[in-house]
């Protein structure tokens, strides 16, 4: 990276999906407008990393198919879940309690990286994070995210889906820590019908405190992207 960026960290705890989406857009839109207007460094909205846990929700990316949601509206209500079609890349995924959802609102141009490298760095940060808990994560050709045993019985531990405008990012990653994986039974995760999902708790066979994983992920993001926190 050409410069050292400073990033504000927000841990929102547990929040509704739409509320958090709106919160992201406040900063995302401000940064995009500043870039369009070529605002000087002194007026820039700082880069930001948001951590949050959501209530049960299914989100479908702009290139996804609603056929990958296997529930109707009444069935969604029965499972206390909501559904949103959103403006990120990728297909359908699930967010819920026991999952760290990370929303980096980064100016990639300011960091000196491109979008493809950004996705790879997100994957690397997650791979480093889960390695601290004794889990070997990998990439899978043609499938964004972090996977376990990609060559044999591939199962996804972290989904990634982003939006970018003028090299400003929003949306991000969803790392399964102690997630109720049964909610994935009601979708074709990320459009796949032949691959599974997993979590840190399932892979390790033990309870892992959410705060412990957040701390490791917080550090992994800083190490991989090379920024500093305010």
Active-site positions? 190
Whole-angstrom CA distances from 25 to 22, 48, 112, 145, 226 are 5, 12, 22, 23, 24
Whole-angstrom CA distances from 155 to 112, 140, 194 are 32, 10, 9
CB 57 within 8 A of CB 94: yes
* Alpha carbon distance 5, 53 (integer Å): 26
| Structural Rg of the chain based on CA atoms | 17
Long-range CB pairs of 140-147 (<8 Å, 24+ gap) are 143/190, 143/192, 143/195, 144/90, 144/119, 144/190, 145/173, 145/190, 146/175, 147/195
Q: What is the DSSP letter of 167?
A: T
Q: What CA dihedral angle connects 179, 23, 127 and 184, to 10 degrees?
A: 30
Strand partners, 187: 69
């Amino acid at each position: 990276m050409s410069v050292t960026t400073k990033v504000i960290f927000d841990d929102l705890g547990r929040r509704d999906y739409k509320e958090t989406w709106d919160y992201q857009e406040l900063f995302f839109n401000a940064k995009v407008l500043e870039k369009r207007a070529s605002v000087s460094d002194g007026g820039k909205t700082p880069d930001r990393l948001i951590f949050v846990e959501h209530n049960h929700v299914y989100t479908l990316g702009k290139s996804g198919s609603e056929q990958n949601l296997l529930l109707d509206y009444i069935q969604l209500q029965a499972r206390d879940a909501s559904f949103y079609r959103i403006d990120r890349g990728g297909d359908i995924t699930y967010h819920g309690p026991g999952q760290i959802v990370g929303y980096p609102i980064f100016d990639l141009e300011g960091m000196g990286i491109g979008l493809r490298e950004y996705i790879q760095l997100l994957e690397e940060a997650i791979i480093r994070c889960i390695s601290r808990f004794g889990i070997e994560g990998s990439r899978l050709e043609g499938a964004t995210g972090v996977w376990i045993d990609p060559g044999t019985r591939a199962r996804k531990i972290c989904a990634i889906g982003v939006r970018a405008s003028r090299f400003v990012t929003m949306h991000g990653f969803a790392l399964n820590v102690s997630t109720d994986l049964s909610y994935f039974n009601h979708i074709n995760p990320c459009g796949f019908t032949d691959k599974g999902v997993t979590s840190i708790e399932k892979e390790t066979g033990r309870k892992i405190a959410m705060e412990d994983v957040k701390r490791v992920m917080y550090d992994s993001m800083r190490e991989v992207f090379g920024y500093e926190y305010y």
